[in-house]
Amino acid sequence: MGQLNDRVAIVTGGARGIGRHYALGLAAEGAGVAVGDTADSTATVDEIVKQHGPKSCIGIELDVSEEASVQAFVARVIKAFGRIDILVNNAALCAVLHPIPTMDLEVDVWDRVMAVNARGPFLMTKHVVPHMKERGYGKIINISTGMTQRGVPGMLHYVASKGAVLSMTRCLSREMGQYGIRVNTLAPGLTLSDTVLAMQPEFVETVRIPNRKARAIQRDELPEDLVGTLIFLASAASDFITGQTIFVDGGSV
């Protein structure tokens, strides 16, 4: 028996990187999974369908920063699965971002990061909540980062956007409790996702050792380290927990 049998989960940004691991983990616990991404999600969907059957997963193109795209995505998920129980707000501009001094940070880059990383989770929540409310139950898991607690030079746009995510969790949990919707944040530390390794090799090499040393458990963090906490926050085991942030970073924060 999976912990999420008969549940339906959305994973934004689930085509690759850490999101792919969330999608695989949710499907392994029995949830039907809808992957939404600007990137092609065929490989993730095929992997899940191969393991769990043709009805276990769908992939739909999604730009979380565009309300029309979010609305169309949610409508297609409802058409395919008939319900939504779990929303993982994972899509973000993360691996593509290079550290940049604040004095050189262009307004359009700031705006784009905010549009995807902060407006995205807001829009997803706005359009998914009515379906959760209908059933009187739901789990929203917002993905932030430990960087919000420490601050990191050159990452003002990213850290500010993820601070917004953390605050949205607190605010939404107060508003959504009456509908049985739980809202929590999962905040990873530096995680060696395939995308971060491929797109930021120099950055990773610079920060990898200091990050390890800052942890109580002094090793690299991998996407697999995050899946157990995600499943916990998605499952009935955490039904009396809302408005919280769990730092999964080997004891760094």
Ligand X SMILES: NC(=O)c1ccc[n+]([C@@H]2O[C@H](COP(=O)([O-])OP(=O)(O)OC[C@H]3O[C@@H](n4cnc5c(N)ncnc54)[C@H](O)[C@@H]3O)[C@@H](O)[C@H]2O)c1
Residue 70 sits at φ, ψ, to 5 deg, of -65, -45
Residue (2 or 154) nearer to ligand X, CB: 154
Residues that bind ligand X (CB under 6 A): 12-13, 15-19, 37-39, 62-65, 90-96, 116, 143, 145, 188, 190-191, 193, 195-196
Determine which helix (DSSP H) or strand (DSSP E) holds 128, and give its type and residue range: helix 120-135
Sign of CA dihedral 175, 176, 182, 183: negative
Cβ 129 to ligand X shortest distance, Å: 19
Catalytic residues: 158
Residue 13 CB contacts under 8 Å (≥ 6 apart), including other chains: 19, 36, 37, 64, 90, 91, 92
Cβ 9 to ligand X shortest distance, Å: 16
Residue 87 CB contacts under 8 Å (≥ 6 apart), including other chains: 9, 10, 12, 124, 125, 128, 132, 138, 139, 140, 141
Residue (13 or 59) nearer to ligand X, CB: 13
Residue (92 or 231) nearer to ligand X, CB: 92
Cβ 6 to ligand X shortest distance, Å: 26
Cβ 41 to ligand X shortest distance, Å: 8
Residue (190 or 239) nearer to ligand X, CB: 190
Residue 30 CB contacts under 8 Å (≥ 6 apart), including other chains: 1, 2, 3, 4, 5, 6, 7
Which residue of this chain has its Cβ atom nearest to ligand X in the complex? 17
Give me the sheet containing 138-143, strands edge to edge.
57-61, 32-37, 8-12, 86-89, 138-143, 181-188, 245-248
Burial 31-45 (b: 16+ CB within 10 A, else e): bbbbbbbbbebeebb
Cβ 26 to ligand X shortest distance, Å: 15
The β-bridge partners of 35 are 11, 59
The length of the chain is 253
Residue (144 or 238) nearer to ligand X, CB: 144
